[in-house]
Amino acid sequence: MAGEEPIVSGMAGRYATALFDLALETNALDAVKGDLERFDTLVAESADLARLVRSPAFSAEEQLRALSAVLERAGIGGLAAKFLKLVTANRRLFAVRDMVRAYREFVAQHKGEATAEVTVAEKLKDDHLAALRSTLHAVSGKNVDLNITIDPAIIGGLVVKLGSRMIDTSLRTKLNAIRQAMKEAS
């Protein structure tokens, strides 16, 4: 039935599919997901690591040496570490964040969960996260995994993408709407 399986295509989708199948076979879905999310967070928070991941200027060997040190320091091992090293050896590290996102979608679909992309201006408190999860659960009827991005440019409020729905209550959007209305009124 249309819409029941996540549509993940391209190279990132193929890698994520292979990893998902292997993790499912070895009962390591959650362990791999946790390790990949930790790595994804490291890439998002470190400009140097992001440059290493994206830049074709580094050889596969240089990337592999640096990545091995990062994985060891972060305590990422097992299947996730082997996967990341394989991706690096195959010169596909530039697409790793898309692979992580696709893997998350496969796990969520397998567990009957939904993933919401949430953008906030600053880190949310635990009680706000719980309220947001609860509200999204009530709307979707599924357990909702939150993928949170912090973007101070939205000034305040939040932007939530859940499936094909998007709700933008950011202060930036409201200010832009006011600015546009004032231009039209002039």
Q: Residue 5: what pLDDT? A: 47
Q: Residue 163: what pLDDT? A: 83
| Residue 70 domain-assigned (yes or no) | yes
Same domain, 136 and 98: no
Q: Residue 185: what pLDDT? A: 86
Q: Residue 136: what pLDDT? A: 93
pLDDT digits (tens, 9 = 90+) for 94-116: 999 999 989 988 998 898 888 88
Same domain, 127 and 168: yes
Q: What is the C-alpha separation between 91 and 105, in angstroms, rounded?
A: 23
| Residue 149 domain-assigned (yes or no) | yes
Answer whether 68's CB lies under 8 Å from 76's CB.
no
Q: Residue 45: what pLDDT? A: 87
Same domain, 14 and 91: yes
Same domain, 83 and 133: no
Q: What is the C-alpha separation between 11 and 87, in angstroms, rounded?
A: 11
Answer whether 174's CB lies under 8 Å from 157's CB.
yes
Q: Residue 146: what pLDDT? A: 87
Joined together, the tokens standing for residue 67 give 């990545």
Same domain, 68 and 152: no
Q: Residue 7: what pLDDT? A: 54
Buried residues in 135-150 as b, exposed as e (16+ CB within 10 A) = ebeeeeebebbebeee
Joined together, the tokens standing for residue 117 give 């992309």
| Residue 88 domain-assigned (yes or no) | yes
Same domain, 57 and 99: yes
The number of distinct structural domains making up the chain is 2
- pLDDT profile of the chain (186 residues), mean per 10: 53 94 95 95 91 92 95 95 96 94 90 90 92 93 88 93 91 92 88
CATH number of the domain to which 128 belongs: 3.40.30
Domain that holds residue 160: 113-185
Three-state SS string over the chain comes to: CCCCCCCCCHHHHHHHHHHHHHHHHCCCHHHHHHHHHHHHHHHHHCHHHHHHHHCCCCCHHHHHHHHHHHHHHHCCCHHHHHHHHHHHHCCCHHHHHHHHHHHHHHHHHHHCEEEEEEEECCCCCHHHHHHHHHHHHHHHCCEEEEEEEECHHHCCCEEEEECCEEEECCHHHHHHHHHHHHHHHC
| Residue 4 domain-assigned (yes or no) | no
Answer whether 116's CB lies under 8 Å from 145's CB.
yes
